[in-house]
Structure 1
Amino acid sequence: MQGPETRPTFIGNLANPACEQAWNEFVRLYRDIIYRVARSRGLQNADAEDVTQEVFAIVSRKVESFDCSAAGSFRGWLRKLARDTAIDRLRQPQHDVGSGDSQMRQALEQRLTPDDTATLWNVEVKREQLLRACDHIRDQFSESVWQSFWLTAIEHQSIPSAAKQLGKSEGSVRVARCRVMARLKREVDSDDRSLSL
């Protein structure tokens, strides 16, 4: 799986308005993550889409001043932008729904803790890595091997159930799942090294 060669190079390319390839890669890597974080904060679909676009606009304005050596990780910076933008959207008057009593306000504040967003962000990054890795390695396996993996590891079917559905022995389903899982782990590890943004 190809990714930016180095953090500074990738971030530098984002700062260059003429580098469309870097922006396409950036959008591909982070669009769904930002969207799901916004949705998890309680935003409706359209608002989450707006937040995603707002985050991209903020990144385009501020990425040039991002200093890898001083500012920490790019992912951390981006996560904070997504969280803050979603919270700002929720705080706008048209989103003030509910009784307005202190119990409602407390529930909203608890839902918007930075630690929760950081955890969710990390889960979403891992989900995107897994989906990209699955897409990348899919054609390396036969359909029956892939289905053995997919049904048991992704859809959480039992091995006996998957074996019956596929007309295979339980042992062959286990072996197929292990083969794909081992390859998937190598792919995700490779992605972690190449995209440590």
Structure 2
Amino acid sequence: MHGPDTRASLIEQLADSNCQPAWDEFVRLYQPAIYRVACNRGLQHADAEDLTQDVLTQIGCKVKDFDVSGSGSFRGWLGKITRDMLVDGLRRRQRAVDVASGDSGVRGQLAELPSRDETGTLIQIEVRREQLMSACERIRFQFSEPVWLSFWLTAIEQQSIAKVAEQLNRSEGSVRVARCRVMNRLKEEVRNNDSSASL
């Protein structure tokens, strides 16, 4: 399932620093994604939080320069900024570690960093995860607890249908049907949420 990309209208609103609703939406969508990418690249919690705030600040300074009608994607641009700031942060840490102890652990992290394209892909995956979780929150109330759990435990937590059926005291067929009902509604919610042009 593909989530909606960043709307051109949202990106344009971000250029106006006084447009708090646009910034709230942007931070809600991208902050967890940037944080998870930083953790995925080996940063500890506090460092990952610092990097996330630095990236968001950098986006705030540079978003007015992003051309929504250009050929590059916003997520690719965000991925490049994230990767560049991650590399800069690791290089600063490496210099500090080299001076203090000569440890080469950070040097290994630098060597293992993915390319800009890979970082952009990680950002896309994490943003889609956030979009999926947000869509789940919006539709959750539309289903009974057994129906929702049938979907959640099999589709999100990847438990077997047989195990979930036993756990919920339902037939395997009813678990399959419930999962399909929720997934169909979830796809519809994602499509409806993507009514604007995307980048």
Q: TM-score, normalised by structure 2?
A: 0.85
Mapped contact 1:79–1:121 kept (Cα < 8 A): yes
1:36 aligns with 2:36: yes
Mapped contact 2:33–2:127 kept (Cα < 8 A): yes
Cα–Cα, structure 1 residues 55 and 95, in superposed 2: closer, same or farther, change >3 Å? farther
Cα–Cα, structure 1 residues 27 and 45, in superposed 2: closer, same or farther, change >3 Å? same
SS at structure 1 position matched to 2:69: helix
Cα-Cα RMSD: 2.6
- After superposition, the C-alpha distances for 1:110-168 in whole angstroms (9 at most, x for unaligned) are 33322331332222122112111111111111111001111111111111111111111
Q: Which ranges in structure 1 are unaligned for 5 or more consecutive residues? A: none
1:159 aligns with 2:169: no
The within-5 A match list for 1:179-194 is 179-194=181-196
The within-5 A match list for 1:46-195 is 46-70=46-70, 72-92=72-92, 93-94=95-96, 99-100=103-104, 105=107, 108-194=110-196
How many angstroms does 1:81 deviate by? 0.9
SS at structure 1 position matched to 2:70: helix
Percent identity of equivalent pairs: 56
How many pairs are equivalent? 192
How many angstroms does 1:190 deviate by? 3.3
How many angstroms does 1:88 deviate by? 1.0
Q: TM-score, normalised by structure 1?
A: 0.86
Q: Which ranges in structure 2 are unaligned for 5 or more consecutive residues? A: none
Cα–Cα, structure 1 residues 117 and 161, in superposed 2: closer, same or farther, change >3 Å? same
Cα–Cα, structure 1 residues 126 and 98, in superposed 2: closer, same or farther, change >3 Å? farther
Q: Which amino acid aligns with 1:138?
A: R
Give me the whole-angstrom Cα distance separating, in 2, the residues matched to 1:100 and 1:51.
21
